[in-house]
With several copies, the nearest count.
Chain A
Amino acid sequence: MSNWTIDELMVAALARELPDDTVCFNGAVSFIPVTAFLLARATHAPGLIWVASSIAVDPRPDRIGESTLSDALWDGAAMLQSSAADFWSYAQSGRLNTFCFRGAQMDAYGNVNNTVIGSFDAPKIRLPGGGGMADLGCQVPRILLWSTTHDPRTFVDKLDFRSGLGWGDGGDHRARLGLPGGPRACVTNLAMMDFHPESKRMRLRSVHPGVTVDQVVAATGFELVIEGDVPETEPPTDEQVRVIREVDPTDARKREFG
C-alpha cells in the first residue's frame, strides 16, 4: 500500500512543474503551492527562489503555520521587500516568473472566478474578490492552477465572473492582448491537466492512482481534451514524502481539504 496521502501527491505533482529557474511567490491560503515550492527547492530545483507572502525573499521557515501571508514564513529571508510598488514592478517585469492560482470556479481555459457566485450586483455568494488575480494572471508568464475540490461546481463551463485571466477565450487571445505566457498545468485532487497547444483548452494529462478517466470527466463541468490513453499520475517518491513532511511538519497543507 502507498505511504502517501492525496495532499502529498498534489504537492509532488505541482513541484514537478517547477524548474530550477523558478522565481515564485504566494498569496493567501496557498498551502499546497507553498509546500510544493519548498519541496522543489529541497530536491530537484535548488535554484528556485520563493518570495513568501510576496514579501520575504528566499526564506527558510521551519514550518508553514496557519496563514500563508503571515510572518511565520519569513524566517531567514534574504530580503523583506518592503513596498507593494517594488513587488509589482518585479511582477510586471517578469523577474517574478511563477504564480499559482485557485478559484472558486475555473473554466476550460484556466480562467478563474473568486468574486461572486451568481450575478455581481445580486450575488448568491459574495466571495473575497479577485485580489491580485487580474494583475498576476495577465502579467506573470508561468501560471499554475490547483484545486482540492475537483467537481462540477468548481470546474464550470462558464464562469459567473472572470476575476483572473488564464488563456482567456482560448487560442491566441492572450497573445492578441499582448500578454506573456499563460497557464501551464492544473493539479487537482483527482487528476493532472495541461492545456492543448492550439486551442488552449484544458487537457487531461494523467489521473491519480485509483481514479478513472470517467470519474474525472463526470467531475468536470466542461469538456476536457482527452488524447489517447491517459496515464496514471506518478505518485510521490518516498524521498519526496519525507521532504514534504519535513518542510511542513504541522500538516498545514491539509488545511485546504474539507
Chain B
Amino acid sequence: MAERAKIVSLSDAAELVPDGALLAVGGLSLNCTPMSFCRELVRARRRELELVAVVSGMSTDWLVAAGCVRKLIMGLTSFEGFGLAPNFRRAAQAGGIDVEEYSEHTLICALQAATAGVPFMPTRAGLGTDMPALHPDRTWEMVDERSGQRFLACAALQPDIAVIHVHEADADGNARMNPKLVWFDTELVKAAKRVIVTAERIIDNAEFRAAPERTSIPGYAVDHVIEAPRGAWPTACWPEYPYDGQFYLDYQRAARDPEAFAAFFSEHVAPLPDPAAR
C-alpha cells in the first residue's frame, strides 16, 4: 500500500503549514496537545498564523511568544491551576495579537457548520452574553419565524489545517487513542481541509485491523502522519504520561523576566526570534 504512505518526518512538519494558514491545534488544556509539532512551527519561524484553539494553554503561549500568531480564535486560554498563559496575556493586553473569542460550544458549532457544508449552525449557547457582538459577522442572533424561538447562528469556520496528537497511527493515517478519548479533536479533523496527526508511535496497519473497534480516526480522513514520541510534552498524554507540572512552574517563573524567559525558551523549546524580527 505504498500508494497510501502518509508518513512525514517531524523535521519536515513545519513545511506542511504555510505562513498565514488558518491552523486548528488539538488537545484540551493540559492534555494531549501536539506540542512537538508546535515547537517545529516556532523553529521554522512561521508567521501570521490564524490559530484555532478551543481550550488550550502552553501550545498557544509558545506560538504567541515566538510571534507566529496574528489572530487567535479561542474558547479559553490558560494554564489552569498554574495561572494565566503569560505570553498570551501580555500580547492580548498590548494588542500584539488579534483575539477572536468564542465560547467552547459556539466554536465547535462553527466547525460543525463547515463539516456539514451549511452556512451556519444554530445553538442556544451564547444567547444574552457579550460574546456574539465581538464578531457579528461570525455569530449573530436569529429568530425562527415558525416557532418564534431565538437562537445564535455560528458561521461556518473551516481550518486550512488541523493537527492533533494521538497514541498510535499507521502509514494509512489510521489513528488510535488509548483509550479513545477524542476531546474536541474529531471536530477539528472533520472540519479541516487537511489533517495532520502526530503520534507517540507509528504502528503496523495489522495492529489496527486486529482491533478495529479501537480506531479513533479513519485513515481516509488523515493526510499526514508524524511520529512524535512524547509529542504532547509538557502536556499530558494520558494514560501514558502526566503533564509536567514542574515545567509549568518553571515556565511561569521565567516568564516574569524577558531575558530569563528568552534563555528558558531557547533551552527548552527553541530560540526566540529577536524582538525586532517579530
Summarize A's interface: helix, strand, loop or mixed.
loop
- Chain A CB within 8 A of B278 CB: no
Q: Does the CB pair A131–B220 fall under 8 Å?
A: no
Q: Does the CB pair B101–A93 fall under 8 Å?
A: no
- Chain A CB within 8 A of B92 CB: yes
For chain B residues 61-96, which have a beta carbon within 8 Å of chain A? 74-78, 80-81, 84-85, 88-89, 92-93, 95
The 8 A CB mask of B12-44 against A (1 = contact, 0 = none) is: 000000000000000011110000000000000
Q: Does the CB pair B129–A137 fall under 8 Å?
A: yes
- Chain B CB within 8 A of A1 CB: no
A90-B128 contact given A82-B182, A128-B84, CB 8 Å threshold: no
* Interface size of A as a range: 35 or more
25 CB contacts below 8 A, A to B, read: A28-B29, A46-B3, A47-B3, A57-B212, A69-B31, A76-B209, A78-B208, A82-B182, A85-B112, A86-B186, A92-B115, A92-B116, A123-B93, A126-B99, A128-B77, A128-B78, A129-B74, A130-B103, A131-B76, A131-B103, A132-B76, A134-B106, A138-B129, A162-B130, A179-B124
Rounded to whole Å, the gap between the CB of A41 and the closest CB of chain B is: 10
List the one stretch of B173-181, B225-233, B262-270 in contact with chain A: B173-181
Q: A195 CA to B239 CA in the complex, in Å?
A: 43
Q: Does the CB pair A122–B95 fall under 8 Å?
A: yes
A83-B93 contact given A67-B30, A128-B84, A132-B104, CB 8 Å threshold: no
Q: A123 CA to B212 CA in the complex, in Å?
A: 43
In the complex, the number of residue pairs spanning A and B with C-beta atoms less than 8 Å apart equals 219
Q: Does the CB pair B218–A84 fall under 8 Å?
A: no
For chain A residues 107-162, which have a beta carbon within 8 Å of chain B? 115, 120-135, 137-139, 161-162
The 8 A CB mask of A53-87 against B (1 = contact, 0 = none) is: 00111101000001101110010111111111110
Report chain B residues within 8 Å CB of A125. Answer: 89, 93
Report chain A residues within 8 Å CB of B105. Answer: 88, 132, 134-135
Q: For A115, give its contact among B29, B101, B181, B183 (CB under 8 Å).
A: B101
- Chain A CB within 8 A of B261 CB: no
Q: Does the CB pair A28–B106 fall under 8 Å?
A: no
Q: A15 CA to B219 CA in the complex, in Å?
A: 22
* Interface size of B as a range: 35 or more
Q: For B77, give its contact among A29, A129, A179, A255 (CB under 8 Å).
A: A129
Give A84's nearest chain B residue, CB to CB.
B184
Rounded to whole Å, the gap between the CB of A27 and the closest CB of chain B is: 9
Report chain B residues within 8 Å CB of A36. Answer: none
- Chain A CB within 8 A of B155 CB: no
Report chain A residues within 8 Å CB of B99. Answer: 126
Rounded to whole Å, the gap between the CB of A188 and the closest CB of chain B is: 20
Q: Does the CB pair B104–A135 fall under 8 Å?
A: yes
- Chain A CB within 8 A of B236 CB: yes
Rounded to whole Å, the gap between the CB of A44 and the closest CB of chain B is: 11
Report chain A residues within 8 Å CB of B74. Answer: 129
- Chain B CB within 8 A of A196 CB: no
List the one stretch of A5-13, A163-171, A214-222 in contact with chain B: A163-171
Binding site for B on A (CB under 8 A): 20, 23, 28-29, 46-47, 49, 51, 55-58, 60, 66-67, 69-71, 74, 76-86, 88-90, 92-93, 95-96, 115, 120-135, 137-139, 161-165, 168, 173-174, 177-179, 255
Q: Does the CB pair A78–B174 fall under 8 Å?
A: yes
Q: For B239, give its contact among A71, A133, A139, A161 (CB under 8 Å).
A: A71
Q: Does the CB pair A138–B127 fall under 8 Å?
A: yes
Q: A84 CA to B218 CA in the complex, in Å?
A: 14
A78-B205 contact given A120-B134, A128-B76, A132-B75, CB 8 Å threshold: yes
